[in-house]
Amino acid sequence: MSPISNTTVVTARDLRQVYAISNGFMRKADALQAVSGVSFSIQAGKTLAIVGESGCGKSTLARMVSLIESPTSGDLQIGSVNAVTASQSDKRVLRQKVQLVFQNPYGSLNPRKRIGQILEAPLEINTSLSRDERIAQARAMLALVGLRPEHYDRYPHMFSGGQRQRIAIARALMLNPSLVVADEPVSALDVSIQAQVLNLLADLQKDRGLAYLFISHDLGVVRHIAHDVMVMYLGHTVEHGSKERIFARPLHPYTQALLGSTPGLAGHGQATKRVVLMGELPSPLNPPAGCVFSTRCPHATAQCRAARPEQRMIDGRLVACFEAERLASIA
- Over the chain (331 residues), the average pLDDT of each successive run of 10 is 71 95 78 93 97 91 95 95 94 94 87 96 95 97 96 95 95 97 91 92 96 94 95 96 95 92 60 64 88 92 95 95 86 61
Q: State the residue range of the domain holding 267.
A: 248-331
In angstroms, the Cα distances linking 163 to 147, 154, 191, 272 are 8, 12, 14, 36
Query: Contact, 34 vs 17, CB < 8 A?
Result: yes
Total domain count, the chain: 1
Q: Does any domain span residue 260?
A: yes
Question: What is the C-alpha to C-alpha distance for residues 58 and 195, in angstroms, rounded to an integer?
Answer: 22
Q: Does any domain span residue 173?
A: no
pLDDT reported for residue 103:
86
pLDDT reported for residue 270:
45
Q: Does any domain span residue 275?
A: yes
pLDDT reported for residue 239:
97
Q: Does any domain span residue 252?
A: yes
Q: Does any domain span residue 272?
A: yes
Q: Does any domain span residue 262?
A: yes
pLDDT reported for residue 328:
80
Helix H, strand E, coil C: the string for the chain is CCCCCCCEEEEEEEEEEEEEECCCCCCCCEEEEEEEEEEEEEECCCEEEEECCCCCCHHHHHHHHCCCCCCCEEEEEECCEECCCCCHHHHHHHHHHEEEECCCCCCCCCCCCCHHHHHHHHHHHHCCCCHHHHHHHHHHHHHHCCCCHHHHHCCHHHCCHHHHHHHHHHHHHCCCCCEEEEECCCCCCCHHHHHHHHHHHHHHHHHHCCEEEEECCCHHHHHHHCCEEEEEECCEEEEEEEHHHHHHCCCCHHHHHHHHCCCCCCCCCHHHHCCCCCCCCCCCCCCCCCCCCCCCCCCCCHHHHHCCCCCEEECCEEECCCCHHHHHHHC
Q: Does any domain span residue 28?
A: no
pLDDT reported for residue 72:
96
Helices 161-173, 115-126: inter-axial angle, 10-degree rounding: 20
Query: Contact, 2 vs 209, CB < 8 A?
Result: yes
Q: Does any domain span residue 325?
A: yes
